Structure 1
Amino acid sequence: MTDTLEYDATGLLCPLPVLRANRKLRELPVGGLLTVRATDPAAEQDFPAYCKQTGHELVSTSREGEVLVFVIRKR
């Protein structure tokens, strides 16, 4: 079974969603999944850039109304 965490970053502005997600990823073992919910429009570019820079895998990006949902696998 894969370890999973969720983080609600709704209402936070750049760079806080990525910084706080980074902190949460440290709690996971390699292969663990983090689901982040964010409302900051900049998150749409920030999370793919963060994953590319750190080597984590951006598994999926979706939208639930005004909320952006990112699923990241720790590498």
Structure 2
Amino acid sequence: MTYDEDIDALGLLCPLPVLKARKKLGTMQAGAVLAVIADDPAAEIDVPHFCAENGHEFLGQETAEGLGHGRAATRYFIRRK
């Protein structure tokens, strides 16, 4: 999936990946896509919940091979409202 901006939240525990996403989305144009790369398993629940609560569109997720610090990393895609 293509995206406009990304943030590296590897090694951060929730809620930090979501807080970084909120800050970055605040600087982006409506309709732009943000990729959040995280390896905290809780992000799988927290990122979609954050989107639903704040009106952003959760576009999905994909495995981010070779990026996690010994853990599986995932790239989450968010379209700014």
Unmatched tracts of structure 1, length 5 or more = none
Instruction: Tell me whether 1:29 sits opposite 2:29 in the alignment.
Output: yes
Q: Deviations over 1:53-75 (max 9, x none)?
A: 00100112112241011010000
Identity of paired residues, percent?
42
After superposing the two structures, state which structure 1 stretch, 48-57 or 59-68, moved more. 59-68
TM-score normalised according to structure 2 size:
0.85
Considering fraction of residues, name the structure with more strand. Answer: 1
Aligned-partner residue type, residue 48 of structure 1: P
Unmatched tracts of structure 2, length 5 or more = 66-71
- The list of structure 1 runs, each at least 4 consecutive aligned residues, that deviate by more than 6 angstroms after superposition, is none
Q: CA RMSD in A?
A: 1.2
Q: Deviations over 1:15-46 (max 9, x none)?
A: 10000110000110100110010000100000
